[in-house]
Amino acid sequence: MKGIQIDREIIDMFCFSGEVVECVPFGSGHINDTYRLTCRRKEETKYFILQKMNRNVFKNPVELMENVKGVTTWLRRKILEAGGDEERETLNVVETRDGMPYYLDSRGEYWRAYLFIERASCFDVVKNENDFYQSAVAFGHFQRLLADYPAETLHETIADFHNTPDRLRKFREAVDADICGRVAEVQEEIRFALEREELAHTLYDLQESGKLPLRVTHNDTKLNNIMIDDTTGKAICVIDLDTVMPGLSVNDFGDSIRFGASTAAEDEKDLSMVSCDLHLYELYVKGFIEGCAGSLTETELDLLPMGAILMTFECGIRFLTDYLEGDHYFKIHREGHNLDRCRTQFKLVADMEEKLPVMKEIVNKYKN
């Protein structure tokens, strides 16, 4: 076998078609160790993805893979019913020889494998507006296909991931503790956060009262989690399902806007450069609603702009909390990096609050 030598114990446990003739590192991910395998049987060549899961990040890989297997099996059935290509339009888990969606090796490491999606690419940055639009269609379509999936049966792989009131509570605790002596220098940011306590409860309270339905959510709705067909330029598949769990559709929408419709980098120091690009916002609204194809409720559609504001606000709180606690969660590359990130998010929140009437008008334009 050419390339990286993976323990034969691992290779032999998965139901790959043919002989594995090559194993090479693949992709730009920073969490799991990812390899592409080349398998040959007679004249046929097939490719597979093999990953060693990061146990430091994913504390319960068994529950995570139960989520992935459940969701991908559901998607495969829906795609087949619609006459689609189930090998390209969803991830396909390769089971082990004893029928499991993962393998626990003799060293205590968890491995999984997927069928490789050929003739398609994913991009870390938006190269053109169509890429952003296509990602919106894909994540909307993901919502539509899973609209009747029993979301409550999924494991919550990260507890309280988008529980904004809980994020605000932890932020208050960080302010009170002030373990790094940084509170005095960030009074303006603290005031900004605390003035929006009512905002923090908006979506959470609506979910608790049953006015927002629990959905299957992706929770990492960035462009690089979409496979785009090399020939047509159209999005064909949502990938990286590690954070799939029960949640709110408006949060998935909102995180895409937070990251993709901002006019500046997430850690931009010059706040005058930071705003919500309404053209990109409209492009994403159009694509997302098209992809959803009527699967969201009227309330969910009306709250899409609020999802953008809430996800940005929550992210800003998380950056500021980490800064106050000594930068132990998010990786930093310079002094005050998390504070810079917090300030860009809060500036984006303020900008979207001013633009909220227009953001609502744009949603109304496409929902009818």
- Is 195 a member of any domain? yes
Q: Are residues 79 and 56 in the same domain?
A: yes
CATH code, domain carrying 169: 3.90.1200.10
Identify the weakest region by mean pLDDT among 2-6, 38-42, 234-238. Answer: 2-6
d(Cα 52, Cα 55) in Å, to the nearest integer?
Answer: 9
pLDDT at 57: 78
Q: What is the Cα–Cα distance from 342 to 347, expressed in whole angstroms?
A: 9
Give the Cα separation of 128 and 224 in Å (integer).
14
Answer yes or no: is 124 within a domain: no
> How many separate domains does the chain show?
2
Would you state the structure tokens that stand for residue 90, as one six-digit string? 């969803």
Q: Is residue 51 part of a domain?
A: yes
More confident residue, 187 or 367: 187
- Whole-number pLDDT of residue 233: 93
Domain boundary among 66, 98, 118: 118
Q: Are residues 39 and 103 in the same domain?
A: yes
Do residues 145 and 280 both lie within one domain?
Answer: yes
Question: Pick from 158, 157, 161: which is nearest to 65 by CA?
Answer: 157
Q: Could you tell me if 199 and 311 lie in one domain?
A: yes
Whether residue 96 is found in the same domain as residue 222: no
94-144 pLDDT, tens digit each: 999 999 999 999 899 999 999 999 999 988 777 789 999 999 999 999 999
Residues 249-274: what's their mean pLDDT? 95
Q: 168 with 242, same domain?
A: yes
Residue 105 structure tokens: 């090796």
Stated pTM of the model: 0.93
Given pLDDT bands bounded at 50, 70 and 90, which one contains residue 158? confident
Does residue 271 share a domain with residue 187?
yes
Mean pLDDT, residues 15-32? 85
pLDDT of residue 198: 94
Query: Nearest 5 degrees, angle CA 105-CA 110-CA 116?
Result: 110
273 domain-assigned: yes
Q: What is the pLDDT of residue 356?
A: 98
- Domain final position from 93, 118, 143: 118
Judge if 295 and 349 occupy the same domain. Answer: yes
Q: What average pLDDT is seen over the chain?
A: 94
Q: Are 139 and 252 in contact (CB under 8 A)?
A: yes
- What span, in angstroms and rounded, lies between the C-alpha atoms of 117 and 234? 14
**98: in domain:** yes
**Cα(95)–Cα(183) distance, rounded to whole angstroms?**
51
Over residues 233-258, the mean pLDDT reads 96
User: What range defines the domain where residue 226 resides?
Assistant: 129-367
What confidence score (pLDDT) does residue 189 get? 98
User: What are the CB-based long-range contacts (under 8 Å, 24+) for 183-192?
Assistant: 183/324, 186/320, 186/323, 186/324, 186/339, 189/320, 189/339, 189/342, 189/343, 189/346, 190/320, 192/346, 192/350
Residues 215 and 307 both lie in one domain: yes
CA–CA distances in Å: residue 282 to residues 161, 332, 363: 27, 32, 8
- pLDDT for the residue 272: 97
Query: Among candidates 278, 287, 274, 141, which has minimal Cα distance to 216?
Result: 141
74 and 148 inside one domain:
no
Residue 79, domain member (yes or no): yes
One-letter identity of residue 136: A
What is the per-residue pLDDT across 168-217, written as a single tens digit (0 to 9) for each?
Answer: 999 999 999 999 999 999 999 999 999 999 999 999 999 999 999 999 99
Give the three-class secondary structure for 212.
Answer: coil
Q: Which residue bears the tokens 């960035």? A: 222
For residue 4, what pLDDT is reported? 62
Task: Tally Cβ neighbours within 10 Å of residue 82.
Answer: 10
Please compute, for residue 255, the number of CA atoms within 13 A of its CA located in the half-sphere on the CB side.
18
Average pLDDT over residues 313-321: 96
Residues 141 and 106 in one domain: no
What pLDDT was estimated at residue 43?
A: 84
CB under 8 Å to 347, separation ≥6 — which residues? 271, 274, 275
Which CATH number fits the domain that encloses residue 62?
3.30.200.20
H or E segment at 253? helix 249-260
Distance from chain centroid for Cα 153:
19
Residue 18: the pLDDT is: 86
265, 234: one domain:
yes
CB 247 within 8 A of CB 162: yes
Distances (CA, A) of 172 to 2, 135, 249, 282, 364: 54, 35, 27, 35, 36
Of 118, 152, 179, which one is at a domain's C-terminal end?
118
CB neighbour list of residue 167: distance below 8 Å, 6 or more residues apart = 160, 200, 314, 317, 318, 321
Whether the Cβ atoms of residue 219 and residue 247 lie closer than 8 Å to each other: yes
Q: What was the pLDDT predicted at 330?
A: 87
Predicted pLDDT at 1:
56
Task: Please list, in sequence order, all residues whose beta carbon lies within 8 angstroms of the beta carbon of residue 322, skipping any fewer than 6 positions away.
Answer: 328, 329, 330, 338
